């Protein structure tokens, strides 16, 4: 007992000595600070009050600030809560409350900047000029929430920078790719250790302006986990009716985001939450034609890469033919990102010659391209390989633009089994089943003996089996491929098609028409079969996109076969007619 008593007394003595020592040192520090010109805490508080006096904020914000400042005065500077409250007050002071940059209403200048920075994209440019015009006339306007939607490399993100330059506003970019925590948008509550405001508020603090051009990059790449759903948190940010009173968990005061010009970018609309998509104005940016890509390369890509590699304009000369060869043989994309990489490779090889002080010809020749970049990666004429019955060229939409695909059908003796290969999705498998069912029902019209279906197996394959494929667009392509295989009539050369089918024999419209047409042009196709209901989509496309293409509009599936298949007599027809059995029916 005595030992225990001594231990407790010694511990208490150590604690008391420690506290007395700290108190003594704090008192000395306080006295030294007063001798040097006042208390640091008092100086901090008076500095905050002076900064608050010049802020343009509402009475509500001023009242919250004053209340928190008085609370800060009562907190011991050594306490952890002191720094939390100080950080909160600093944030309130640094946020741009009612502080806006002045818009430049010179529409001619804005149009010139947009045209200089971006080739084409007339729909987006007109939309921005309309917004500026209304803002100029009205003086005040709730900013629209625009969503630039299209394949990678077409200039969606860089458009935001050009718009900010045209309007004379600050530019902010926030990448949403892989964002999965709701607190990244709405902020953390101040009660948590290491709490921070959301990234929307943080970016506005950095911009020091309440009306910047705010680019929300890759809005379709948001993900969800147990931390919450960020796309749902974005609803308040991107709704013009709600974002006047945006609530951040850290700030705890409603903030007005209605003056911010939000521009979202996305590669695919299917992965965006429907409620979020409904709040945005979708502006589609499709791919470029070869002619447009040549102009973009001359005006933007080549000067940019020359500067990046330390070369002058005359040291590398890329003619229009060389650029066209680069586009056709070494790229297959809707945008120009891969083209820029290939141009950079060509310029790098010249930069090496310049650095080594070797003799070289500045004018790049076609033979040099194969040395620098290797053999051509893409073959333009691959669509014309329809020399075998049962092979048809289809048109597909992908998130990176349009593409062509082949559907191959082969038949061999069996019991009527249908096999599908090529990594097909459920919708494509169903299209094949519908096409075969339609053929069986209309065998007489297609000049096919109905009995062959019970004695021959059908195998449908879509090449590039490693690539997953799905969608309704291959319906009429499946039907044409099957009919071609069973009748041994080849498909016309340089012809492609896209359309959905029904059991009744109707051809339904599909989407992504512009991307598919650009893919067809890249592959050297001249004839395209579409649903009659897709005529409106073709009318919306500029004339130079569809130049050199002939469109065949169909309503019935039987018409597709009539247009697609050659009418010449088959030289070596397959003997598909099955002899009628003379045995008793029951046997």
Residue 585's pLDDT is what?
Answer: 45
Residue 375's pLDDT is what?
Answer: 83
CATH number belonging to domain 295-373? 1.10.8.60
Residue 74 predicted with pLDDT over 80? yes
pTM, entire model: 0.73
The upper half-sphere exposure of residue 154, i.e. CA atoms within 13 Å in the direction of its Cβ, equals 25
Residue 37's pLDDT is what?
Answer: 64
Residue 584's pLDDT is what?
Answer: 45
- The pair phi, psi for residue 569, each rounded to 5°, is -70, 140
474 within 8 A of 431, measured Cβ to Cβ: yes
- The pair phi, psi for residue 461, each rounded to 5°, is -130, 140
Top-confidence residue, 361 or 531 = 531
Give the C-alpha separation, 460 to 432, whole Å. 8
Residue 586 predicted with pLDDT over 80? no
Level-2 CATH architecture, domain 107-284: 3-Layer(aba) Sandwich (3.40)
Q: In what order do the strands lie in the sheet with 527-531?
A: 418-421, 456-461, 401-413, 391-398, 495-497, 527-531, 550-554
Q: What is the pLDDT of residues 36-73, one digit of tens each?
A: 766 667 777 888 888 888 888 888 989 999 998 888 88
Find where tokens 């999705």 sit. 425
Give the C-alpha separation, 173 to 157, whole Å. 9
DSSP one-letter code for 261: E
425 within 8 A of 469, measured Cβ to Cβ: yes
% the chain with pLDDT above 90: 23
- Each domain of the chain, given as residue ranges in start order, spans 1-28, 39-94, 107-284, 295-373, 380-564
β-sheet bridge partners, residue 407: 392
Query: What is the average pLDDT across 424-450?
Result: 89
Residue 580's pLDDT is what?
Answer: 46
Residues present in the chain in total: 587
Query: What is the average pLDDT across 261-270?
Result: 89
The upper half-sphere exposure of residue 79, i.e. CA atoms within 13 Å in the direction of its Cβ, equals 12
Helix-helix angle 80-94:199-207, to 10 degrees: 60
Residue 39's pLDDT is what?
Answer: 65
What is 514-535 written as a DSSP string?
HHHHHHHHHTT--EEEEEGGGH
180 within 8 A of 226, measured Cβ to Cβ: no
2 CB contacts (<8 Å, ≥6 apart)? none
- CATH among 3.40.50.300, 3.30.230.10, 3.30.200.20, 3.30.450.20 for 380-564: 3.30.230.10
Give the C-alpha separation, 399 to 396, whole Å. 10
Residue 399 predicted with pLDDT over 70? no
Q: What is the pLDDT of residues 117-171, one digit of tens each?
A: 888 788 888 888 888 888 888 877 777 888 998 888 888 888 888 889 988 899 9
Q: What is the pLDDT of residues 454-508, one digit of tens each?
A: 888 999 999 877 678 888 888 999 999 999 998 888 898 889 999 999 988 899 9
157 within 8 A of 150, measured Cβ to Cβ: no
- Among all residues, which ones are annotated catalytic? 473, 516
When pLDDT is cut at 50, 70 and 90, the band that residue 386 belongs to is: low
Residue 403's pLDDT is what?
Answer: 82
Give the C-alpha separation, 380 to 519, whole Å. 10
Q: What is the pLDDT of residues 216-263, one digit of tens each?
A: 999 988 877 776 788 888 888 888 888 888 899 999 899 988 888 899
Query: What is the average pLDDT across 374-394?
Result: 73
- Say whether 424 sits in a helix, a strand or coil: strand
When pLDDT is cut at 50, 70 and 90, the band that residue 570 belongs to is: low
Give the C-alpha separation, 285 to 155, whole Å. 9
Residue 112 predicted with pLDDT over 70? yes
Per-residue CA distances from 256 to 97, 355, 412, 469 (Å): 8, 55, 69, 45
Within a 10 A sphere around the Cβ of 468, how many other Cβ atoms? 11
When pLDDT is cut at 50, 70 and 90, the band that residue 379 belongs to is: low
Q: Which of 103, 70, 105, 104 is nearest to 85 (CA)?
A: 70
Residue 578's pLDDT is what?
Answer: 47
The upper half-sphere exposure of residue 203, i.e. CA atoms within 13 Å in the direction of its Cβ, equals 21
Output the six-digit token pair for 12: 């208490």
Tell me whether residue 538 is exposed, middle or buried, using C-beta atoms within 10 angstroms of its C-beta: 0 to 12, 13 to 18, 19 or more.
Answer: middle
Residue 569's pLDDT is what?
Answer: 63
195 CB contacts (<8 Å, ≥6 apart)? 84, 187, 188, 189, 250
DSSP one-letter code for 144: P
Looking at every residue in the chain, the average pLDDT score rounds to 85
179 within 8 A of 138, measured Cβ to Cβ: no
- The pair phi, psi for residue 197, each rounded to 5°, is -70, 165
Output the six-digit token pair for 380: 């333009």
% the chain with pLDDT above 70: 94
- Say whether 322 sits in a helix, a strand or coil: helix
Query: What is the average pLDDT across 75-98?
Result: 86
Residue 381's pLDDT is what?
Answer: 46
Find where tokens 């090449």 sit. 463
Find where tokens 């003595």 sit. 13
């Amino acid at each position: 007992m005595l030992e225990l008593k001594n231990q407790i007394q010694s511990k208490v003595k150590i604690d008391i000595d420690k506290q007395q020592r700290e108190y003594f040192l704090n008192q000395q520090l306080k006295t030294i600070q007063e001798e040097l010109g006042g208390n640091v805490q008092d100086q901090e508080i008076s500095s905050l009050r002076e900064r608050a006096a010049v802020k343009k904020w509402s009475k509500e914000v001023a009242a919250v600030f004053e209340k928190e400042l008085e609370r800060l005065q009562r907190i011991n500077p050594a306490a952890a809560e002191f720094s939390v409250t100080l950080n909160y007050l600093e944030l309130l002071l640094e946020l741009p409350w009612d502080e806006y940059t002045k818009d430049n209403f010179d529409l001619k200048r804005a149009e010139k900047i947009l045209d200089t920075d971006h080739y084409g994209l007339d729909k987006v440019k007109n939309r921005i000029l309309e917004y500026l015009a209304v803002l100029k006339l009205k003086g005040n306007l709730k900013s629209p929430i625009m969503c630039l939607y299209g394949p990678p490399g077409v200039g969606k993100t860089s458009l935001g920078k050009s718009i900010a330059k045209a309007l004379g506003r600050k530019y902010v970019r926030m990448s949403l790719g892989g964002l999965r925590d709701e607190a990244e948008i709405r902020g953390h509550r101040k009660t948590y250790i290491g709490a921070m405001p959301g990234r929307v508020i943080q970016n506005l603090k950095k911009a020091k302006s309440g009306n910047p051009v705010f680019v929300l990059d890759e809005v379709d790449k948001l993900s969800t986990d147990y931390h919450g759903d960020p796309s749902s948190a974005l609803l308040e940010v991107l709704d013009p009716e709600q974002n006047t009173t945006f609530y951040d968990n850290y700030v705890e005061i409603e903030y007005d985001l209605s003056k911010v010009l939000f521009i979202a970018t996305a590669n695919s609309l299917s992965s965006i939450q429907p409620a979020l998509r409904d709040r945005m104005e979708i502006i589609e940016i499709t791919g470029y034609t070869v002619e447009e890509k040549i102009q973009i390369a001359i005006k933007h890509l080549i000067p940019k890469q020359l500067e990046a590699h330390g070369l002058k304009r005359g040291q590398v000369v890329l003619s229009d033919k060389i650029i066209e060869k680069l586009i056709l043989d070494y790229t297959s994309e809707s945008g120009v990102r891969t083209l820029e990489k290939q141009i950079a490779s060509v310029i790098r090889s010249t930069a090496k010659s310049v650095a080594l002080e070797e003799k070289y010809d500045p004018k790049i020749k076609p033979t040099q391209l194969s040395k620098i970049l290797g053999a051509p990666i893409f073959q333009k004429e691959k669509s014309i390989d329809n020399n075998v019955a049962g092979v048809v060229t289809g048109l597909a939409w992908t998130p990176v633009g349009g593409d062509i695909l082949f559907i191959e059908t082969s038949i061999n003796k069996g019991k009527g089994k249908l096999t599908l290969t090529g990594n097909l999705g459920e919708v494509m498998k169903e299209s094949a089943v519908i096409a075969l069912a339609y053929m069986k029902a209309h065998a007489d019209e297609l000049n096919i003996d109905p009995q062959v279906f019970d004695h021959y197996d059908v195998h449908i394959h879509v090449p590039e089996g490693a690539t997953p494929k799905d969608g309704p667009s291959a319906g009429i392509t499946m039907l044409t491929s099957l009919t071609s295989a069973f009748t041994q009539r080849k498909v016309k050369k340089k012809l492609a098609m896209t359309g959905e089918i029904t059991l009744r024999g109707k051809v339904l419209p599909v989407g992504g028409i512009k991307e598919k047409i650009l893919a067809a042009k890249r592959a050297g196709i001249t004839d395209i079969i579409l649903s009659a209901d897709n005529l409106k989509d073709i009318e919306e496309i500029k004339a130079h996109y569809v130049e050199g293409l002939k469109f065949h509009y169909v309503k019935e599936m039987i018409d597709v076969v009539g247009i697609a298949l050659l009418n010449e007599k088959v030289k070596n027809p397959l003997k598909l007619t099955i002899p009628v059995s003379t045995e008793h029916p029951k046997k």
